[in-house]
């Protein structure tokens, strides 16, 4: 319907000689204004130098004629020249019937281009435990991947794990110090990292040993060391994979630092010869001053690559593995500056590769009580948090599977409800809300609707359409537009905002209207099915589980 209105407005503007005017057809802020509104008359009035109200009047008449009175109940002009369109009962009913009929397809975009996109996120540091901050990138990355897929794009997910470098050396040093030759848990490794990290700061001798260890890992010739490294990495990664699975994420490609160092060094050295990089104090740096980005070291004076060089190598590696049209990289926003430098350098090395890369920065997860630092070891690990919330959800859910679904839903909702770049304040004392503005609220509305459907007698009596249009219907029909926009803007929060409104309207409808055994029962049941499809699809796009019961 939105598209039909778009076209009708565009046709009208073309006739008026203002075809290049940009305008929007959108949902009005307030429902009393109608189902759709457009600012076309305002925009065109400015360009043509005509009175916007007059233009709006003739646009309104034109729209009513073109769309037809069976489709549109009325078109009005308001304010400085908005044209508001209210859909006819029949059009609304058709949309609801469509939502019901399409089921799990409802809301999906049409595959028009067959694009291929790689989304990179979660980027775990092997040898460290996953802390709550990692949760943000993981959850956002998964939601963005799913939204992108819904628009008909093929998505490959990749994650770039840190398995080499000073932090790894610290963990290995700590393991050796503790006399551990065969680590068995990720926690054990996390503790070793904390020990190594502290000693690195306070103990000069330890610092030298750790630096040497770092070199040795790059060299890879010490068999005993490399064996410990391999085992440690595997144990760490097993833990990450366990949490990813819990969160409904999987990766098509798992890349590691160690896969990219060789290519990274080679490409940067090549760039050095071309004058893209320069030598400074024995290190290879990218001088970004002229481009307005930070100057950064790509290869250290000890000939080891930094993260920046590895990122360059990774860009090539990804292209080699799975050529794509676009690469979305989700990281914390503290990396924004670093990313700009890498992108500037890559822009000179390989302009086509750089052009298709897009950085999506996520906010921090901040604790209300003090800062977290994995160095000091006072982090809340992701698995601890999840366990806590599961415990809380278990108070109302005996089924452990459901408790897990509710807990994951609560955590994901907390993260996804806000725009990706902004920080998330997290109060570990109050923990997570399971009611009101929360994931479980959405899940609960869905469960109740399913429960209603389960109780309805499956009759095929003829459907009578009620004369009045329920508010829930008018919210429901906008779902595909919201999905399209959230997908296009990589903004899962827009979908979250929509779903919380939808759930509220459903609960309101539910409390006011009798469904099973009420008047217009068949129609209301269809509406309930449409709601179930919409909520199920919406939650699935966000990666929030949809329990059957709770």
Partner RNA sequence: GCCCCGAUGGUGAAACGGAUAUCACAUCAGUCUUCGGAACUGACGGUCCAGGUUCGAUUCCUGGUCGGGGCACCA
Of residues 3, 7, 15, 46, which one binds RNA by CB under 7 A? Answer: 46
Report the 10 Å Cβ neighbour count for 64: 17
Pairing outcome for strands 116-120 and 154-161: parallel
Number of residues that bind RNA (CB under 7 A): 91
Q: Would you say 345 and 271 are in contact if contact means Cβ atoms under 8 Å apart?
A: yes
Q: What are phi and psi of 185, to 5 degrees?
A: -130, 155
For RNA, which residue of 357, 393, 484, 539 counts as binding (CB under 7 A)? 393
Using rule CB under 7 A, residue 514 touches RNA: yes
CA-nearest of 49, 48, 89, 83 to 66 is 83
Q: How far is CA 539 from the centre of its chain?
A: 12
CB of 417 to RNA, least distance (A): 5
CA distance 493 to 324: 26
Contact 98, 113 (CB under 8 A): no
- Phi and psi at residue 296, to the nearest 5°: -140, 155
Which span sits near RNA by CB under 7 A: 57-65, 186-194, 322-330, 334-342?
334-342
The Cα 145–Cα 157 span in angstroms is 7
Site for RNA in 183-242 (CB under 7 A): none
Per CB under 7 A, contacts with RNA among 348-377 are 364
Determine which residue in the list 17, 68, 80, 103 makes contact with RNA, applying CB under 7 A.
Answer: 80
Residues of span 114-173 touching RNA by CB under 7 A: 125, 162, 165-167
3-state secondary structure of 253: strand
Site for RNA in 262-301 (CB under 7 A): 280-283, 285, 287, 292, 294-297, 300-301
* Residue 32 Cβ vs RNA, minimum distance, rounded to whole Å: 8
Residue 536 touches RNA, criterion: CB under 7 A: no
Q: Is 431 in the site for RNA (CB under 7 A)?
A: no
Backbone angles phi, psi at 488, to 5 degrees: -65, -40
Q: Which of 55-63, 77-85, 131-139, 314-322 is the region at the interface with RNA (rule: CB under 7 A)?
A: 77-85
Which CB atom, from 465 or from 507, has the smaller least distance to RNA?
507
Interacting stretch for RNA, rule CB under 7 A, among 21-29, 54-62, 89-97, 172-180? 21-29
Of 321, 276, 336, nearest to 118 by C-alpha is 321
82 binding RNA? (CB under 7 A): yes
> Smallest gap, in angstroms, from Cβ of residue 93 to RNA?
20
- Closest CA relative to residue 236, chosen from 131, 356, 105: 131
Question: Strand (E) positions, 333-473?
Answer: 357-362, 365-367, 424-426
437 scored as a contact of RNA (CB under 7 A):
yes
Give yes or no for a contact between 450 and 506, defined as CB atoms under 8 angstroms apart: no
| Stretch in the footprint of RNA (CB under 7 A) among 188-196, 219-227, 246-254, 303-311 | 303-311
Using CB atoms within 10 Å of the CB of residue 535, give its burial: 0 to 12 exposed, 13 to 18 middle, 19+ buried. buried
Residue with smaller CB distance to RNA, 221 or 511: 511
Q: Cβ closer to RNA: 155 or 532?
A: 532
Among 16, 18, 21, 84, binds RNA (CB under 7 A): 84
By CB under 7 A, name the one of 79, 103, 220, 400 that touches RNA.
Answer: 79
The residue within the footprint of RNA, chosen from 222, 425, 464, 488 (CB under 7 A), is: 425
Q: Is 441 in the site for RNA (CB under 7 A)?
A: yes
């Amino acid at each position: 319907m939105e598209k039909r209105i778009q076209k009708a407005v565009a046709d009208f503007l073309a006739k008026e000689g203002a075809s290049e005017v940009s305008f929007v057809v959108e949902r009005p802020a307030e429902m009393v204004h109608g189902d759709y509104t457009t600012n076309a008359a305002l925009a065109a009035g400015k360009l043509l130098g005509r009175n916007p109200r007059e233009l709006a009047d003739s646009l309104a008449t034109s729209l009513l004629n073109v769309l037809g009175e069976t489709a549109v109940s009325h078109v009005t002009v308001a304010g400085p020249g908005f044209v508001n369109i209210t859909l006819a009962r029949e059009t609304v009913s058709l949309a609801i019937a469509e939502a019901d009929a399409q089921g799990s397809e409802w809301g999906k975009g049409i595959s028009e281009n067959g694009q291929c996109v790689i989304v990179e996120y979660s980027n775990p540091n092997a040898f460290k435990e996953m802390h709550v901050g990692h949760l943000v990138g993981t959850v956002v990355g998964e939601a963005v991947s799913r939204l992108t897929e819904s628009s008909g794009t093929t998505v490959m997910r990749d994650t770039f794990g840190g398995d080499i470098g000073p932090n790894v050396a610290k963990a290995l040093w700590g393991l050796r110090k503790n006399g551990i030759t065969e680590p068995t848990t990720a926690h054990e490794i996390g503790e070793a990292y904390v020990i190594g990290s502290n000693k690195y700061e306070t103990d000069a001798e330890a610092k030298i040993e750790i630096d040497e260890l770092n070199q040795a890992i790059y060299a890879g010739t010490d068999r005993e060391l490399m064996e410990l490294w391999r085992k440690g990495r595997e144990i760490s990664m097993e833990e990450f994979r366990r949490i990813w699975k819990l969160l409904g994420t999987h990766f098509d490609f798992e890349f590691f630092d160690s896969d990219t160092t060789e290519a990274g060094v080679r490409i940067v050295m090549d760039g050095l010869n071309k004058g893209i990089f320069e030598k400074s104090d024995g290190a290879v740096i990218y001088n970004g001053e002229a481009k307005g980005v930070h100057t950064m070291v790509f290869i250290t004076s000890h000939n080891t690559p930094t993260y920046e060089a590895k990122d360059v190598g990774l860009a090539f590696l990804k292209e080699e593995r799975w050529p794509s049209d676009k690469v979305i990289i989700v990281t914390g926003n503290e990396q924004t500056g670093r990313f700009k430098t890498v992108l500037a350098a890559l822009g000179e090395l390989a302009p086509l590769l750089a052009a298709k890369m897009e950085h999506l920065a996520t906010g921090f997860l901040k604790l209300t009580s003090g800062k977290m630092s994995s160095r000091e070891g006072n982090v809340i690990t992701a698995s601890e948090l999840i366990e806590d919330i599961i415990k809380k959800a278990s108070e109302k859910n005996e089924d452990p599977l459901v408790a897990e679904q509710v807990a994951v839903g609560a955590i994901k909702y907390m993260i996804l409800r806000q725009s990706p770049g902004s920080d998330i304040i997290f109060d570990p004392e109050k923990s997570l809300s399971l009611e009101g503005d929360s994931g479980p609220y959405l899940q609960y509305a869905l469960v109740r609707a399913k429960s209603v459907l389960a109780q309805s007698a499956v009759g095929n009596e003829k459907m009578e359409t009620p004369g009045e249009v329920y508010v829930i219907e008018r919210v429901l029909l906008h779902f595909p537009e919201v999905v399209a926009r959230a997908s296009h803007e990589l903004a899962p929060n827009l979908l979250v905002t929509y779903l919380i409104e939808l759930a509220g309207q459903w609960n309101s409808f539910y409390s006011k209207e009798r469904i099973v055994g009420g008047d217009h029962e068949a129609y209301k049941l269809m509406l309930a099915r449409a709601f179930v499809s919409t909520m199920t699809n919406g939650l699935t796009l966000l990666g929030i589980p949809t329990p059957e019961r709770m």
